[in-house]
Chain A
Amino acid sequence: MIEPVFLEYTNALDEGFKLVPALTIVGMMLLFLGIGFFFRVAAVDDLWVAGRSIGSIENGMAIGANWMSAASYLGVAALIATAGYYGVGFVVGWTTGYFILLIFMAAQFRRFGKYTAPDFVGDRFYSDRARGIAAFTTLVIALVYAIGQGSGMGLMAEYILGVSYEAGVIVFMAVTVAYVALSGMLGATKNMAIQYVILILAFLIGLYAVGLSQGWSTVLPYIEAGPETAQLIDAFHAEFAEPFAVNSFYMWTALVVSLILGTCGLPHVLVRFYTVDNERTARWSTVWGLFFICLLYWGTATYAVFGGLLYSDPVQDTDTAVTLGEADSFMQMPGADGDALVALTVQLADMPEWLVGLVAAGAVAAALATTAGLFISASSAAAHDIYTNLYKTDATQREQMIVGRTTILLIGVLTAIIALNPPALIGEMVAMSFAIAACVFFPVFFLGLWWENATQEGGIAGMLAGILISFGAIANDTAIPMYTGVEGAVSTELATIVPGLGSALVGVPVVFAVIIVVSLVTENPPEDVKRLVRQCHSPEPMEKLQSAEDAAADDD
């Protein structure tokens, strides 16, 4: 766990309004919307006609785009630069989790055919109350996830628009809400593959440019930064790579386990498996998706190395690297500089303004697109799963729409308010939402799919226990200290065992135990639910638009 610090959110990027970078962002967003509109006009079914191999590569890119938020784009490099080997844990957790998702869940989810978390939980645990708890958790995950994105947008706005961090957060959050409204109207969710290509290009062009201009790397910067890593360690900061210099082995493991299991529990990741035409494509999409994700994640360590060197020793002496803010890490780097490091690296290497702008614009576009997706999932959870299902079963379309839009507006405002003074670094905020997903959703997904005797009482009790543990851990070492002025954590002992970023190491086994014990003492699930679970694992193909429910019912 990294102690929550009150950061002066100003970073070392040059300020002042920059036209070209600002236009780059506008251009990217228009392109996303435009392509979405184009694909809506073209028949959507044509998308998959091109053949199966294209289907899985394209869907793999969509998985990559989904994954590429400000946390991947900016946050991971920041954490490696400020937390060393502990930060590398974010790379491990946010890539290898896909393997667990693949072997245990991807194809089964495809067969189940329900693509939102509340839908799955509601059907599998045959309970509207369970569905309500899942919807509530979806809302919280969207909020926590979005706070990190807001923080990234604010930092980049300082560079691109030359406004203060606070103004940047507010401006871009307003843009996001408008983008959600527009993309909803234009059906702009079909453009994820193109979005991925643009974002990865912006990220990699910066990396290649820095490597080439400094003579550090040529074609494969990922594995060419060895001498620079050694130089950074020997000349400046050994903590950069020394094992467990910043956080203990236990903390590392807790973090990685949380991120891995969180990957398997995040609602917006699962949606991607519904859009493929069969479970074989679901499997190969995961492989391609992980490949596209790795292209970015391998680069985060390289960015941290290049950025660390340039930060300690900029190309031009006039570039003042160290700025306002408490430099609380070994790198002498304030949190805001860390979170801006990817763009800052390009600037410190004395690259032209348009190039720095391109990298910064990529970060904003990544944050914005992810936030838009989160807001859409939050609005559907509120409108369909909570309002209509639990509160007013005969709600009209119009009522649902009003509830959905109000939710987006409220969550946008709330995100902006919290992001004005973010409680943690971007990557840490997002990691907290992973810890919640791991504790609340992973156990019900996993046992729901792999143990047909898991009952509704077990599922509900398990989710409540998961909420208690993951929320409690975050309140203990981040939320309460942040807003009450308690130093460090309410209970330091608790924070070292169940850290807010890594509550799943303790939380998931506890929740598994709760679900299993409660399921054993309550009445078995009805036969049709059991058949539903079996249908998810059957190797026999289903029709394209069939869900497990239909297939199991056909059979009777």
Chain B
Amino acid sequence: MGDNEPQTDGGTATGREGAQTVDYLDEEINLFKPATPFMRDNLKAIFGLFGLWLLFVFGPPVASYVAPEFMFETRVLGGYPLNFFLSAIVTPAAGLVLCAVYAWYRDRLDEKYDITHEAEAESGAATAADGGEQ
């Protein structure tokens, strides 16, 4: 996340341009080969956050598997065993925070590529207009 931010600001102008010239319906969709600048930015966030998510979801059980004594004997907040507390309370909370971060990041991306969801009808017409056959 952190290292995307400077690029987001710096790339605003080219991003806007890109949004007008790219015809999204002509570009192949492939999870590992993003074909448009928008898709590249989006996938960067998706994979970055996905990595963090893996850590939060499977970190506690893996740690409990590797060091069961430590995870069970360590007590937090007055008595929760660490493994229990992490999986039952922290993991769902982390999932929630990651969701919010992604939703927020996508709002920033929308700004960068000059996308607005406010005036649906207008922009819908614009889609049809500039998306025509070359």
Q: Are A228 and B79 in contact (CB under 8 A)?
A: yes
Identify the interface centre among B38, B42, B61, B83: most chain A CB within 10 Å of its CB. B61
Q: B27 to chain A: which residues have CB within 8 Å?
A: 534
Q: In whole angstroms, what is the CA distance A441 to B81 when docked?
A: 37
Interface string of A524-547 (1 = CB under 8 A from B): 000000110111111111111010
Stretch from A162-170, A236-244, A463-471 that touches the partner = A236-244
- Interface size of A in residues (CB-CB distance below 8 Å): 75
Q: A226 to chain B: which residues have CB within 8 Å?
A: 75-80, 85
Interface string of B16-48 (1 = CB under 8 A from A): 000100001111111100000011001001100
Q: A297 to chain B: which residues have CB within 8 Å?
A: 92
Stretch from A134-142, A287-295, A487-495 that touches the partner = A287-295
Q: Are A104 and B46 in contact (CB under 8 A)?
A: yes
Chain A nearest CB, measured from B71 CB (Å): 6
Interface positions of A (Cβ within 8 A of B): 52, 80, 85, 88-89, 91-92, 95-96, 98-100, 102-104, 107, 222-231, 233, 241-244, 249, 252-253, 256, 260, 277-281, 283-284, 286-287, 290-291, 294, 297-298, 300-301, 450-452, 530-531, 533-544, 546, 551-552, 554-556
Q: B102 to chain A: which residues have CB within 8 Å?
A: 99, 102-103, 283
Q: Are A546 and B124 in contact (CB under 8 A)?
A: yes
The interface size bin for chain B is 35 or more
A534 with B92: in contact, given A241-B83, A541-B116, A541-B127 (CB under 8 Å)? no
Chain B nearest CB, measured from A242 CB (Å): 5
Q: Are B117 and A253 in contact (CB under 8 A)?
A: no
Q: Are B83 and A539 in contact (CB under 8 A)?
A: no
Main secondary structure of the interface of A (DSSP, over half): helix
**In the complex, given contacts A300-B88, A301-B84, A555-B132, what are 13 additional A-B residue pairs having Cβ atoms less than 8 angstroms apart?**
A88-B87, A88-B88, A91-B91, A96-B94, A99-B53, A99-B102, A104-B46, A241-B83, A280-B110, A287-B103, A290-B95, A294-B92, A541-B120
Q: Are B113 and A539 in contact (CB under 8 A)?
A: yes
Interface positions of B (Cβ within 8 A of A): 19, 24-31, 38-39, 42, 45-46, 49-50, 53, 56-58, 61, 64-65, 68, 71-72, 75-81, 83-85, 87-89, 91-96, 98-100, 102-103, 106-107, 109-110, 113, 115-117, 120-121, 123-124, 126-128, 131-133
Q: Are A252 and B98 in contact (CB under 8 A)?
A: no
Q: What residue of chain A has the Cβ atom nearest to residue B39's Cβ?
A: A537
